[in-house]
């Protein structure tokens, strides 16, 4: 019996463009997953791909700029969040299908506000499953499903390998967009500082002009770098950058802990640390990062499938 391949698409907001690159790379090498398990933007991209709306979803996403991303939704303080995402999801209603009718098994992860438990959505509307999985707490409205109110699955299982295994995957490729968190590197000083050149030191008059010019320029560059280093050392973390870093760090550690319990066979970790959550305008760059991450593991993937 052929082994079933599961693809796990993790959380990451605008970093999710990398998932598009992964899917394109799999198509390029002629590999199609039997199972897709997604969390947050991973559930969105995976769901859009399975219902045949990935091109339309990509076109819509490319229209979003960092400032207009929130404006694409309805601003309405209700249901535990600031923004109602229904208008955006309803735009794709014509593509919606029941998960049970998909040619590939699909599941999305959300979290239950009432119990704190992780929720696996494996039945019903694909669009509603993706919407619940990507309901970022405080920012987006919680989504009601039966008697439950659900929020973004990233608070419970950012890269749901366990869900892919539950759905029957023998081999799992996990795309982890938070493995390299966006930390505030300026507060991590280098191990040793480079002493600045003494600006008062005399330059030997016998040196050729080119050498004296080089020395003067080097002094200027070092002085500038030292000034920047002093300014950074005296700076304090700002509100939004602290929030970004904290969320990344949280998801990195949570994914690591979950992976210890249910490890993937192939772990793709494109370096997305320079990507802000609303950087939708960097689609081509992030798509290429996803494609490159999969191609780097191509031989391993093909070997696992063959054996």
Catalytic residue among 11, 34, 40, 133: 40
Find all residues with CB under 8 Å of 305, minimum gap 6, and list them: 3, 5, 31, 171
Q: Is 152 a catalytic residue?
A: yes
Own/partner contacts of 260-266, CB < 8 Å, gap of 24 or more, are: 261/162, 262/161, 262/162, 262/165, 263/161, 264/8, 264/159, 264/161, 264/172, 264/173, 264/174, 265/171, 265/172, 265/173, 265/304, 266/171, 266/172, 266/173, 266/174, 266/297, 266/300, 266/301, 266/304
Find all residues with CB under 8 Å of 181, minimum gap 6, and list them: 245, 248, 249, 251, 252, 273
Find all residues with CB under 8 Å of 223, minimum gap 6, and list them: 196, 197, 199
Q: Is 40 a catalytic residue?
A: yes
Angle at 172 between CA 171 and CA 175, to 5 degrees: 155
Catalytic residue among 11, 125, 134, 152: 152
Which residues are marked as active site?
Answer: 40, 152
């Amino acid at each position: 019996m052929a082994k079933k391949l599961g693809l796990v698409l993790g959380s990451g907001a605008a970093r999710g463009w990398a998932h598009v690159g992964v899917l394109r790379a799999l198509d390029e090498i002629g590999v199609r997953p039997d199972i897709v398990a997604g969390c947050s933007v991973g559930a969105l991209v995976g769901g859009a791909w399975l219902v045949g709306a990935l091109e339309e979803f990509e076109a819509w996403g490319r229209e979003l700029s960092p400032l207009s991303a929130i404006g694409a939704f309805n601003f309405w303080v209700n249901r535990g969040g600031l923004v109602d995402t229904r208008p955006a999801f309803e735009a794709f209603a014509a593509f919606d299908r029941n998960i049970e009718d998909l040619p590939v098994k699909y599941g999305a992860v959300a979290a239950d506000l009432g119990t704190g438990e992780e929720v696996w959505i494996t039945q019903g509307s694909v669009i509603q499953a993706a919407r619940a999985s990507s309901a970022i707490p405080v920012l987006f409205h919680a989504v009601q499903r039966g008697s439950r109110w659900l929020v973004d699955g990233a608070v419970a299982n950012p890269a749901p390998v366990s869900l892919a295994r539950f759905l029957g995957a023998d081999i799992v490729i996990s795309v982890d967009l938070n493995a390299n968190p966006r930390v505030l590197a300026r507060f991590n000083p280098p191990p040793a500082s480079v002493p600045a050149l003494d600006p008062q030191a005399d330059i030997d008059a016998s040196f050729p002009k080119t050498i004296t010019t080089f020395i003067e320029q080097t002094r200027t560059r070092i002085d500038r770098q030292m000034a920047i280093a002093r300014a950074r050392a005296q700076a304090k973390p700002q509100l939004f950058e602290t929030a970004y870093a904290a969320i990344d760090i949280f998801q990195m550690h949570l994914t690591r802990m979950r992976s210890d319990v249910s490890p993937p066979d192939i772990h793709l970790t494109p370096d997305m640390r320079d990507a802000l959550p609303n950087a939708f305008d960097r689609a081509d760059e992030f798509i290429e990062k996803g494609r490159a991450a999969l191609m780097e593991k191509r031989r391993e993937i093909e070997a696992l499938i063959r054996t």
